[in-house]
Structure 1
Amino acid sequence: MRVPTPKKVGAALAFAVAAAGIATYSAMDVLMKGLSITSGAYSAVLWRSVVGVALLGTIFVLRRRPFPGRAALKLHALRGATAGFSVLLFFWGLVRVPMAQGVALTFLAPLIALYFAAALLGETIRRAAILGSIVASLGVLVIAAGEVQGHASTAHVLGSLAIFAASIFYAYSLILLRQQAQVADPLEVALFTSVVLGGLLLLGAPWFAGLPTTAQLPSIGVAAVLGSLSAMALAWAYSHAEAQVLAPVEYTAFVWASLFGWWVFHETVSLYTAGGAALIILGCVLAVRGHAAPAPQTEAAA
């Protein structure tokens, strides 16, 4: 069963909603980084997912939505697991690197998704995609050079590698999201991705997680609300406008990460990080010009 085609709205409105979704997600990143520092990424993601399921599940029930079919459930399970690895690696790494640098490395996901699409969906890799990959790779090398020049600690390097690995898992989740969009609406996708993610994390909770403290509960609750609002806003925007129209808004996350990192964690953005981010963004633009780009940041961290 295919999801009905949404009613068309202006591209400007869709762009504005997507921009708001990115800003909201960036604010959630601040809370999640703080929670990951105090209790570990595993616990932070687990309890945010549990609260997210409660919020989205309530909406799902109140709207009397039908339970998804077998095909949809298989996609939800696979993407939930993939997104789970991505989210855990990202927040584990984000504890160890500045927010701006971590977000810059996630911009590789759209490019990696192009190669997954070629391998899994039979799409053709164009010369522009290869050129974009080369330019973006130079951006990663610039960021790495900054770590060498700044005598980065082992933890800093490991954090960067974890976020790079998270981008690979996230890129695969983008391919799954394309398939999910054919059989489920944004609410169902966000809810069941969180259900799978939370369920898998609960299995390891006795060994890897701890109960949240009373002081952490407000941050967990707000993070879950912000994550859910962001997922719904971005899903709505991408259902009403082409990805190539909205793709540039994704890169505003770097601005928000820089501002929030400076304001909350007193982080600074090095010239290496700024230059590397610019090259990665340029590579993505070169790779997807003239064609719709995969939509990063949509519900991946539901």
Structure 2
Amino acid sequence: MSILAKISTANDNHSARITGIGLMLLSIFLFSLGDALGKYMVATYSVGQLLWLRAGAALLVLSPMIWRDRGTFVRLERPWLQLLRVALSTLEVAAFFLATVYLPLADVTTYYLACPIFVTALSAIVLREQVGWRRWSAILIGFCGVLIALRPSSQTVSWPAMIALGGSLCFAVLMLITRSLRATPDIILASSQFAGTFALGALMSPFGWVTPGLGSLGLFAAAGCVSVSALLCVNRSLKLAPASVVVPYQYSMIMWAIIFGYLVFGDVPPISTIAGAAIIIGAGLYIFLRERRLGRGEAVVSPPV
């Protein structure tokens, strides 16, 4: 290969990485915007209505791609594992938005940032993967960050916080299952998650139903469209640039959670939440870099859809 060709290839790779980073940052902003929209809507409407109408809008947006790739849906690998994945995905999304009814957005996001730590711990306990003392140390430090953010005492440990942590654990198991379903096309993974959320929302919606006006319907639709746009951006980002380059930028979600929480809801996160989030992010990044060095570099944070 000539020197000019090598320079051109290097420039192309650099441009792809920059574009990938930009798309990752955009996706995290969109995911955070969708979370803020969801929290705003559940102040008036039930979580079931949010899940149903948001997922319905998302499925409408995805319908052209679902139709285009419809043949892949009849050849699903390990269908029972796919079903379990959809169930866990539905539970964790419901837990996330239920927790936001009672907790600031930054608090719920902080608990979900612990997902990579849970994934690594569960990989060692459930999948019997080899985890050395360095990563076990990072896991313990990360759990300390969770405890600092949780501020455990008889007065402060609440069931909404437990719901958020339970959702984060569901998300961790979901990531482990997704890891074993690498051959499944992205459109199946995404559309099945939205379909599960749609089904649960349809079952829950009659309880506490509040008839939405046109403006509210527009916000529900916007939440679904934002979620799909964010998902497409993050998938494209991971195709343009290595996960090791773009994944650390996913932790910017805590910044957006704090900003949206303050601007929209007037929430000011306590020092303990900020300190806990910083510890969790540091532990998660160490785990990610360690797994990358061991040849298992995966996206340690993948925001819920």
TM-score by length of structure 2 reads: 0.85
Q: Quick one: distance in 2 between partners of 1:299 and 1:284? A: 14
Q: Which letter maps to 1:66?
A: G
Length, aligned pairs only: 288
Q: Which letter maps to 1:291?
A: E
Per-residue displacement from partner, 1:186-240 (whole Å, max 9, x unpaired)? 2232112211231243244444655544331011010001000111111222344
Which residue in 2 is equivalent to 1:190?
A: 190
Q: Quick one: distance in 1 between partners of 2:269 and 2:280? A: 16
Q: Which letter maps to 2:71?
A: P
Contact 2:23 2:234 in 1 (8 A): yes
Which residue in 1 is equivalent to 2:105?
A: 99
**Post-superposition offset of 1:287:** 2.2
Q: Which letter maps to 1:116?
A: L
CA pair 183-218 structure 1, distance change in 2 beyond 3 A = same
**Post-superposition offset of 1:121:** 4.1
Contact 1:33 1:95 in 2 (8 A): yes
Which residue in 2 is equivalent to 1:170?
A: 171
If you compute each CA radius of gyration, which structure gives the higher value, 1 or 2? 2
Residue of structure 2 aligned with 1:133, choices 119, 134, 139: 139
Per-residue displacement from partner, 1:107-156 (whole Å, max 9, x unpaired)? 110111113333454421222221111111111221233x759x65x7xx
Q: Which letter maps to 1:140?
A: V
SS of 2:42's partner is: helix
CA pair 64-165 structure 1, distance change in 2 beyond 3 A = closer
Per-residue displacement from partner, 1:156-212 (whole Å, max 9, x unpaired)? x2222111111000011111222333221x223211221123124324444465554
Q: Quick one: distance in 2 between partners of 1:297 and 1:216? A: 30
- Identity percentage over the alignment? 19
Contact 1:110 1:296 in 2 (8 A): yes
SS of 1:10's partner is: helix
Contact 2:31 2:303 in 1 (8 A): no
**Post-superposition offset of 1:93:** 0.7
Q: Quick one: distance in 1 between partners of 2:233 and 2:219? A: 21
Per-residue displacement from partner, 1:74-100 (whole Å, max 9, x unpaired)? 444222111111011111111211111
Which residue in 2 is equivalent to 1:4?
A: none
Residue of structure 1 aligned with 2:92, choices 77, 80, 86: 86
Which residue in 1 is equivalent to 2:62?
A: 56
**Post-superposition offset of 1:294:** 4.1
Matching of residues 141-290 of structure 1 within 5 Å:
141-145=147-151, 152=156, 157-184=158-185, 186-207=186-207, 212-290=212-290
Q: Quick one: distance in 2 between partners of 1:205 and 1:274? A: 35
**The 10-residue stretch of structure 1 (161-170 or 39-48) with the greater mean CA deviation from structure 2:** 39-48
Q: Which letter maps to 2:44?
A: T
Could you tell me which runs of 5 or more consecutive residues in structure 2 were left unpaired when the two chains were aligned.
Answer: 1-12
Give the alignment's Cα RMSD to 1 decimal.
2.5
Q: Quick one: distance in 2 between partners of 1:40 and 1:202? A: 12
Q: Quick one: distance in 2 between partners of 1:102 and 1:122? A: 29
Q: Which letter maps to 2:102?
A: R
Which residue in 2 is equivalent to 1:124?
A: 130
Could you tell me which runs of 5 or more consecutive residues in structure 1 were left unpaired when the two chains were aligned.
Answer: 1-7
Contact 1:173 1:300 in 2 (8 A): no
SS of 2:43's partner is: helix
TM-score by length of structure 1 reads: 0.86
